[in-house]
């Protein structure tokens, strides 16, 4: 066997793949605990969320819509079960729907101008995006493909559609989009960037 053939067979060997290069690099993530990069978040239980939502609804019934909105945004559910997160999202949407369009911008300006107001609007942006994406696992905004029936036109149509659900979803989407526009007007595009890059998810 020639030297060239021996060299070719050696280079085709996969033995070099067994060396863990990252373990030799002092700056590698394998040499330190990456969980320390994110501080632990307190876990919020469903009972706490129900109690908080009851207090927020009480503020709403008392006519303090700004206090209700602040209450939602000051206590976001970052670390909790899906049902707890969904319950808080529904409360946030309920509060947003109860506020008149003429009150939106002045209210956001007051919140933004207060201490920690920028962070509160960032939290609001997170809830707006979650609401617009159909974030609630209970409502399930995905198209039920098993109910599709072929039509003579060549298109498919969803069978047994519930018009009231679609109208409610459309109305909620319209409200969320309106709030999103107002938040960007008040807080600027930085609110969107911070929302997208924040590791804490509602």
Domain with 153 in it: 43-139+147-197
Q: Identify whether 62 is part of a domain.
A: yes
Convert 131-142 to b/e letters by CB count within 10 Å (16 or more is b): beeebbeeeeee
- How far apart (Å, rounded) are the C-alpha atoms in residues 73 and 70? 5
Q: Identify whether 27 is part of a domain.
A: no
From first to last of its 202 residues, the chain has per-residue pLDDT tens of 565 555 555 555 566 567 777 777 777 767 767 667 777 888 899 999 999 999 999 999 999 999 999 999 999 999 999 999 999 999 999 999 999 999 999 999 999 999 999 999 999 999 999 999 886 544 444 433 334 444 454 444 444 444 445 556 778 899 999 999 999 999 999 999 999 999 899 9
pLDDT of residue 172: 84
pLDDT of residue 28: 75
Please give the C-alpha separations between residue 19 and each of 7, 12, 16, 29, in angstroms, as whole numbers.
Answer: 20, 16, 6, 16
- How far apart (Å, rounded) are the C-alpha atoms in residues 84 and 155? 39
pTM of the model: 0.69
CATH number of the domain bearing residue 51: 1.25.40.190
Q: Identify whether 107 is part of a domain.
A: yes
- How far apart (Å, rounded) are the C-alpha atoms in residues 50 and 162? 29
Q: Which residues pair with 156 in a beta bridge?
A: 150
Contact 43, 77 (CB under 8 A): no
Q: Which residues pair with 149 in a beta bridge?
A: 157
DSSP element (H, E) containing 184: helix 163-187
């Amino acid at each position: 066997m020639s030297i060239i053939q021996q060299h070719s067979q050696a280079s085709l060997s996969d033995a070099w793949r067994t060396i863990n290069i990252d373990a030799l690099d002092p700056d590698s993530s394998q040499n330190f605990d990456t969980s320390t990069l994110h501080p632990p978040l307190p876990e919020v239980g469903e009972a706490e969320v129900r109690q908080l939502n009851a207090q927020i609804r009480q503020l709403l019934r008392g006519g303090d819509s700004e206090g209700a909105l602040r209450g939602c945004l000051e206590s976001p559910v970052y670390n909790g079960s899906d049902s707890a997160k969904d319950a808080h999202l529904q409360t946030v949407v309920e509060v947003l729907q109860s506020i008149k369009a003429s009150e939106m911008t002045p209210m956001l300006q007051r919140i933004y101008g207060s201490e920690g107001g920028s962070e509160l609007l960032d939290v609001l942006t997170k809830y707006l995006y979650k609401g617009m994406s159909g974030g609630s696992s209970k409502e399930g905004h995905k198209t039920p493909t098993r109910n599709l029936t072929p039509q003579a036109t060549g298109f498919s149509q969803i069978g047994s559609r519930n018009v009231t659900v679609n109208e409610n979803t459309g109305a909620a989407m319209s409200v969320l989009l309106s709030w999103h526009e107002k938040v960007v007007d008040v807080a600027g595009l930085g609110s969107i960037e911070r929302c997208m890059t924040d590791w804490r998810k509602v």
